[in-house]
Each structure stands twice: as structure tokens, then as C-alpha cells.
Amino acid sequence: MQSWVTFQISVPKELVALMSANRDGEMPDPEDSSRKIYCFSQNVPIPCYLIALVVGALESRKIGPRTLVWAEKELVDKSAYEFAEAEAMLKTAEDLAGPYVWGQYDLLVLPPSFPYGGMENPCLTFVTPTLLAGDRSLSNVIAHEISHSWTGNLVTNKTWEHFWLNEGYTVYLERRIGGRLFGEQFRHFQALGGWRELQNTINTLGDKNPVTNLIPNLNEVDPDVAYSSVPYEKGFALLFYLEQLLGGPDIFIGFLKAYVQQFAYKSVITEDWKKFLYSYFKDKVDVLDKVDWNSWFHAPGMPPVMPVYDMTLANACVALSQRWIKAKESDLGSFSSADLKEMSSHQLIEFLALLLLESPLPVSHVQRMQQVYDFNAINNSEIRFRWLRLCIKAKWEEAIPLALKMATDQGRMKFTRPLFRDLYSFDKCRDLAVKIFLEHRASMHPVTSMLVGKDLQQEQ
């Protein structure tokens, strides 16, 4: 897109228009007194997929010197509280990656059918209301979208085969922000959670599936169908591995900053990135030559090497998950609410994620878990999602209505697709899952509807 573009949007005057651009004010529509015109300008060149426009009954709250949060009035105060760390994250990102060139950084909370965690539209990040946990524990998604202001929006993948350059890099920067704000152990804990997420994805897709390549062949493939956590987490794992190989976080962040400077306002492919890596670390070519590049880029399944993780925050999750996996019926009385007393929301997510990588638990175990931990009462979407998956995999019939409700109350594909897939795999509720999907299909985002339809063999 050319470098200076202005927009004028006419809307009914009771509504608000927002764009992926800086707001330049509003004026009455000279041709219709019931409407007003909103003006916008974008002075940074952007690829066309980052042009976004929204119109709605929106209100805003100021949460930082360059940030308003926008939402419908029912959610605006809750959103302002949840995302209050945005400015601290922006400042940290600037320190790590260089100046923020976009001017304004606003957030918009979309309706629940929005299919992604967030979308990094310049000047106006879109986010899902499933982030509104009430305790700011899911704010890593905001750090992720902020990070895209450098990796993705300033340096962009040339084609979707090289999507990992957008997403793997952005996850890396997101976790560096988390490390600065919450400590290096927290960064490692989030990184380990990402590795588990990758294991889960590859278990679902199959470890020989070519879409699990870091650089997949998308010839005749719809990128929406190929979309998964692979470019995010396999891409991150490569960068985290290289960080450890090349001298640690302080040395590697110098490379990231130089990479952004080198390719700002350009589109790149993996070969461009790799050549720049070799030229930046010209004194470590022998180390780089030992990397199995072919397996990292072109082999399906898990990466050829697992990075090293600090296990401090993960150990409690591993220990508790192992107790449940090994527990016999006679051991179930040994569990109590005290098991979770010292655990954060992030650790509860990891505990449940570890159980999901194992064979399904017996129904008696998930029933006891509900008795002592009362997971049904937790509204944190990441915890609730994993808990309900655990229940459905254990074939606990009482969880069916709760899982169907979560799958349809919101449309974030990260949650909706696995829940529907699990329900479809449970013979007791397969027909009900299909029936509920068909009833809700018309109100789903088209991409969600298409992909859940594929999963449930209800393609249109």
C-alpha cells in the first residue's frame, strides 16, 4: 500500500467507525444530517491484509498515553481493567525491538464469534472477549498483538508458506516482554507451555502431516485450512533454540532488533532471514552450520531438537498431573482443594494441558477433580476449555451440556474446534454435537463454520 492514505467513513451518527489507522476526528455528513463522517490516516505502508474497518455502538476508555480500549458499553470497563498493562508492554517492546512507529495503539473487543485470540491491525488490535478473565492472566495475547507491530506489520512474510516469520517471531517477542515484566522463569514456563501446545497440535494433525512442516507447501491449499499452532510454536522453538545456541537472550535480542531494522517496510521469505542470520553471526558460522536446517524447515512433526527449559514453575504442575495419572480408585481421597492453593492460573492451565497429552482419565477421576477443585465454577476461558476437554475425553456425560455451551457461546477457533471434535468423537453425543452445530452455524464466523463443518463431516 502506498505510504500515505486517508479514509473517510460515513455512518449513522449513533454509531462509531474505527480503522487500522490513526483517528483524525469526525464531522457531520453534509449530504445526510442523520449521519457523520469519521476521518482516518495511515502514514506507514501496510500489506492489504492489515486494512480493517469496524462500525458499532462502541464506547472507549483511556488506559494509557497512546491507548484507548473500545468495546460495547457492557464490556468497556471490564476491558479497561483487563488490558491496563498495555503501556508497560508497549514500552518493553520498544526497548527490545526499537521505536513504535504507528502512533496510536488502541484495542477493540469484538463480539464472541470473533474466531481468533487477536488480530494485529495497525493502530487498532482486535481481541476476543474470551480474554476477559478478570485477573489479567490472559494478557499475553495483548503482548503478542503488540509484538506484531514489529514482526508481521513492519517486517512481513512475503507468502503464507513463510507465516512462521510473522508468528514464530511474534511469539518470541511476546515471551521476551513477559520475561521482562514477570521474570525469566515465567518466560521459560510460557515457552514450555508452547511446546506442549505444539505436541497437542501434532497429535491432532498427525506427525507425518505436511502441514506440520515449518515451511509447508500451500500450493492448492487454503491457508485457513492449514492454520494451526505450528508456525507459532515450531517457529518460536527454532528461535529459542538459536538463542541458546548463539549466546543467550541478550545476544539474540540484538539480532532481532537488527533484523527488524534491516527489513522494515519489506516482505521477506525464510531464505532472506537465514542469510541475514549468517551475516549477523559471521563469527559463529560453524555453530550455525551444525543446525539441522532441513529438518527444522521441511520435516513434519515435532522439531529435531527440544530447547532447554527452566522447570521451576512447571514442576508443581508435572507433580500434580502425575499424581492424578497414577492414582487408583483407592487414592482419590488423597486429593483436596489444598493441592491448588499455591498454583497460579497459568499453572492450572499447564496442569490440565499435561493431562490432555495422556490417555483419558477414568470418569471417577474427573468427578473427584470436580468435587475437590470445582473447575466448573472457573470462568477463565483457557482453564475451562482444557477442563471440559478432559471431561469429554473421559466420557463424563454430565459435562456434555457445558462443553456444547462453551463451543457455541463463543467462536474462538482455538476453543470451538477442539470441543466440537471431542464431542463428535464421543459416541453418546455425536448426533447432538452435529445438531447443535447446524443450529448455530448461521451465527458463526464463516471460517469457523467452514472448519467445524469439515471436522464434523458437514461440509456445505
Q: Which residues are catalytic?
A: 145, 232
Please give the grid coordinates belonging to residue 123. Answer: 493502530
Please give the grid coordinates belonging to residue 290. Answer: 551444525
Q: How far is CA 170 from the centre of its chain?
A: 10
Q: Degrees (nearest 5) of the Cα angle 300, 392, 351? A: 65
Q: Is there a contact between 260 and 155 (Cβ–Cβ < 8 Å)?
A: yes
Enumerate residues 6+ apart whose C-beta is below 8 A from 285: 278
Would you tell me how many other CB atoms lie within 10 Å of the CB of residue 371?
A: 12
Sequence-ordered alpha helix ranges (H) in 206-336: 223-226, 230-245, 249-263, 270-280, 285-289, 293-298, 315-326
Residue 283: phi, psi to the nearest 5? -85, 0
Separation between Cα atoms, residue 450 and residue 459, nearest integer Å: 7
Three-state DSSP class for 100?
coil
Would you tell me how many other CB atoms lie within 10 Å of the CB of residue 176?
A: 24
Which residues pair with residue 42 across a beta bridge? 5
Please give the grid coordinates belonging to residue 39. Answer: 476521518
- Computed from CA positions of residues 325, 328, 329, 332, in that sequence, does the dihedral angle turn out positive or negative? negative
CA proximity to 318, closest of 186, 193, 138: 193
Would you tell me how many other CB atoms lie within 10 Å of the CB of residue 189?
A: 25
